[in-house]
Amino acid sequence: MKPSIPKGTRDFSPTEVANRTYIINTIKTTFENFGFQPIETPSFENSETLMGKYGEEGDRLIFKILNSGDYLEKVTEQFLADKNSLKLTPQISEKALRYDLTVPFARYVVQHQNDITFPFKRYQIQPVWRADRPQKGRFREFYQCDADVVGSDSLWQEIDFIKLYDTVFSNLGLKGTTIKINNRKILSGIVEVIGASDKLIDFTVALDKLDKIGKEGVENEMISKGISKEAIAKVQPLFDFSGNNLNKLTSLENLLITSEEGKKGVSELRFIIENIQQLGLQSADLEIDVTLARGLNYYTGAIFEVAAPKSVSMGSIGGGGRYDDLTGIFGLKDVSGVGISFGLDRIYLVLEELQLFEKVALPKPTVLFLNFGDQEALFCMKAIAELRKDGIKSELYPEATKLKKQLNYADKREIPFVVIVGSQEVEKQVFTLKNMISGEQTSCSLSTLFGVVNK
RNA sequence: GUGGUUGUAGCUCAGUUGGUUAGAGCGCUAGAUUGUGGUUCUAGAAGUCGCCGGUUCGAGCCCGGUCUUCCACCCCA
């Protein structure tokens, strides 16, 4: 059998793990700096917790876990004969791998509501799974790094999340990201103004493609979804929406003058934009993007998405938003939440492409003791124990093979110091220390050895 | 889920209109050098040509299926 791993999954080499750890630690440190606390949830949930939360497409992409034991035992002949996967699945699968971290978090909040002090600020860095077809920057197993606040509907949270995005990317040395922001209420307002409130999703999904298929393409898609030409004519300003954020706010205010909800959305957006202007951002740009229509299944206010620097071709590296009623699904009403997510795997690809990983050093020993036989090895192990006590990474070459091979190993692993202890050294109780970079070699005592390698 | 693309040694890749024993570089192992790596030289090992089936006297090459890779759509981090 040829060994292989499932489609869309990956193995990580020591270098890759070091790089990933560096990103995770940067994000983690920044999260904690902003006052978030970590939680973890199981990698799989009860199916009913996840199903129906991400729309029809989402349900299809959730990995279902087959029941244990004879999972067909209780299924009636009728269900098997019908061959209806949608109806059969709940009977043979009661658990599913988590699809994101937001819904499990909402479940967590409701389940532990009595132990939580609100507003509750949590972060969570764990893998999620989607039965998607892999592509560039798209995997079936990948990590999300989420920070959310529940129990506060203050817009200062949104402002703080924008600062959080900016801080993380600055700390990673990733300049030129764009934080795009929109508001669900603005989208609702627009469809209300054009009299197509029942077509919110179709309208926004089409509008979202403006970048990709252009104005005509969007109009055609809207028409094909049953939105009238008159309605489309009313939102012409959206198609050539330009200028700075304040200009955009003004034209949105004019467009949405007859919609209470729309006006509310614009004023929320204005509050955020104006305060961010006062506070300033280090490396990211904040940009109003009315075509942004992610996560409409639960976002109710702000919607965020982060685009990588323009020189890199990569989908969004982060997303988030405000959800007023996510916990409502699990029975806890009137708790507003807002949060953002970082896509670790995509950030990795972006940093790699921009060569921002140089600083990350692989863990490796500082000193390698060569092995000349059991007697010499014992002598070395005593010294190694002393070195390790002082935090100097050291190891013994496990086998007494020829020196060429042992030195070659040190060379390959880029170990800076090698200690050679043969019978002569044991007899004199000294160490021959070799600097692998200069090739220099000296005979010395253990304390001298300490001094040299500890620099 | 739809359409396309890819797969040959551990790695990166050659392989002509289908024709004898499928090659190269790097890496690996051994030796030149029995206590000295990086450079050099010599030799060697290593492949069910993704898998299954078909066409053919003959398939790495053609056809079908399947898995995998990457890409676009859908959707998304």
Task: Return the HEC string of A138-161.
Answer: ECCEEEEEEEEEECCCCHHHHHHH
Is A130 part of any domain?
yes
Band the pLDDT of A175: cuts 50, 70, 90.
very high
Q: How far is the CA of A299 from the C1' of B13 (A)?
A: 49
* pLDDT higher at A439 or A211: A439
CATH of the domain at A130: 3.30.930.10
Supply the Cα-derived Rg of chain A in whole angstroms.
Answer: 29
Chain B positions within 7 A of any protein Cβ atom are: 1-3, 28-31, 33-38, 50, 67-77
Q: Does residue A428 reach within 7 angstroms of strand B, measured from its CB?
A: no
Domain of A254, in residue numbers: 14-62+99-353
* pLDDT higher at A346 or A313: A346
Q: What percent of chain A lies above the pLDDT cut of 90? A: 64
Q: How far is the CA of A419 from the C1' of B32 (A)?
A: 26
Same domain, yes or no, for A276 and A418? no
Among A353, A383, A405, the domain-final residue is A353
Q: For A198-336, list the strands marked E by DSSP.
A: 285-288, 302-307, 318-323
Same domain, yes or no, for A349 and A425? no
- Region A169-191: mean pLDDT is 94
pLDDT in tens, A118-154: 999 999 999 999 999 998 889 999 999 999 999 999 9
Q: Does residue A289 reach within 7 angstroms of strand B, measured from its CB?
A: no
How many structural domains compose chain A?
A: 2
Nucleotide nearest to A408 (CA to C1'): B37
> Is the model's pLDDT at A302 over the cut of 70?
yes
Whole-angstrom distance, CA of residue A454 vs CA of residue A448: 10
- Region A57-64: mean pLDDT is 90
- Region A420-438: mean pLDDT is 94
* pLDDT higher at A325 or A43: A43
Is A440 part of any domain?
yes
Phi, psi of A390 (to 5 degrees): -90, 10
Tell me: cis bond preceding A38? Omega within 30 of 0 counts: no
What's the pTM value of the predicted model, to 2 decimals?
0.91
Is A431 part of any domain?
yes
Q: Does residue A85 reach within 7 angstroms of strand B, measured from its CB?
A: no
Q: Which protein residue has its CA closest to C1' of B30?
A: A405
Provide the mean pLDDT of chain A. Answer: 91
Same domain, yes or no, for A156 and A225? yes
Band the pLDDT of A217: cuts 50, 70, 90.
confident
> Is the model's pLDDT at A181 over the cut of 90?
yes
Same domain, yes or no, for A175 and A27? yes
Half-sphere exposure (Cβ direction) of A398: Cα atoms closer than 13 Å: 0
Is A219 part of any domain?
yes
Q: In this predicted structure, which of A195-199, A331-335, A416-420 has the lowest mean pLDDT?
A: A195-199
Q: What is the pLDDT of residue A420?
A: 96
Is A55 part of any domain?
yes
| Residue A387 in tokens | 């070195």
Listing DSSP states for A167-212 in one string gives HHHHHTT----EEEEEEHHHHHHHHHHTT-GGGHHHHHHHHTTHHH
Q: Are A337 and A150 in contact (CB under 8 A)?
A: yes
Is A284 part of any domain?
yes
Q: Which protein residue has its CA closest to C1' of B2?
A: A133
Same domain, yes or no, for A239 and A269? yes
> Is the model's pLDDT at A360 over the cut of 70?
no
CATH of the domain at A399: 3.40.50.800
Q: Does residue A317 reach within 7 angstroms of strand B, measured from its CB?
A: yes
Same domain, yes or no, for A263 and A316? yes
Is A86 part of any domain?
no
Q: What percent of chain A lies above the pLDDT cut of 70? A: 99
Q: What is the pLDDT of residue A391?
A: 94
- Region A189-208: mean pLDDT is 87
Q: Which protein residue has its CA closest to C1' of B51?
A: A2
Same domain, yes or no, for A283 and A388? no
Q: How far is the CA of A411 from the C1' of B46 (A)?
A: 25
Same domain, yes or no, for A154 and A236? yes
ipTM of the complex, rounded to two decimals: 0.85
Same domain, yes or no, for A160 and A229? yes
Q: Does residue A11 reach within 7 angstroms of strand B, measured from its CB?
A: no
Same domain, yes or no, for A144 and A267? yes
Q: What is the pLDDT of residue A41?
A: 97
Whole-angstrom distance, CA of residue A90 vs CA of residue A300: 29
Nucleotide nearest to A416 (CA to C1'): B37
- Region A76-105: mean pLDDT is 87
Among A303, A320, A353, the domain-final residue is A353
Among A308, A325, A353, the domain-final residue is A353
Nucleotide nearest to A294 (CA to C1'): B76
> Is the model's pLDDT at A405 over the cut of 80?
yes
Q: What is the pLDDT of residue A90?
A: 86
Is A21 part of any domain?
yes
Band the pLDDT of A1: cuts 50, 70, 90.
low
Same domain, yes or no, for A413 and A340? no
Same domain, yes or no, for A410 and A334? no
